[in-house]
Amino acid sequence: MLPIWLDLHARKAAVFGGGAVGRRKANYLAGEAEVKVISKKFVDGFLPQVQLVEGEINEHLVHTIGWADLVIAATNDRDLNDAIAAEAAVQGKYCNRADGVSTFLIPSLVERDNYKVAISTEGRSPGMSKYLRLELDRFLGRKYDLMVSLQEELREAAKRSIPSQMEREKKLWQVLEDRDVWSALENDLPRARELAMQKLVG
């Protein structure tokens, strides 16, 4: 599988199963997509924008998969998940299932204001994905978020003053390798910006 970022605004996701797994995946996708969950019953905690449809899954299967761009099979019935995945394949839809081979995966996510890190073991160990997320969450402190903002500012300045793209990339990388800039980032942002600009124009 290839990691890829997708813009899911104006896209639709169908989640079959109203348990904890279905809730987690529905709430994740509802950050951008329109999400509909089909189940006979639902646990608490679904986001308000998630549409809950109560009923027998088999009665909604073909129509709802036709409506969706992405399909989630998250029931506790393996045969039913098989049927969901099979129908998704017939209709040419990407399907993620909680208990088997999927055609797309939902990663563990470390999220900051200016960047995101997605983690996946490609279904081999969900526990390890969570463990890696917690480790990275502890490691990735505020300075990395600040550096993204600083690099964005420097990139715009470099476009105005350095004609060569190759030279711009070289200068920006030099800032990333500058320990003095990194040291100043968390405690003295103006100083970090000053050092970075000197590196850029020097």
Q: Tell me which of 106, 126, 160 is where a domain ends.
A: 106
Do 69 and 156 reside in the same domain of the chain? no
Taking alpha carbons only, the member of 63, 50, 55, 64 closest to residue 22 is 50
Which two tokens mark 52?
């809950």
Do 15 and 70 reside in the same domain of the chain? yes
Domain hosting 37: range is 1-106
Q: Tell me which of 89, 122, 140 is where a domain ends.
A: 140
114-139: pLDDT as tens digits = 999 999 998 889 899 999 999 999 99
In this predicted structure, what is the pLDDT of residue 126? 86
Residues of the chain with pLDDT under 50: none
* Amino acid (one-letter) located at 24: R
Pairing verdict, β 116-119 and 12-16: unpaired
3-12: pLDDT as tens digits = 999 999 999 9
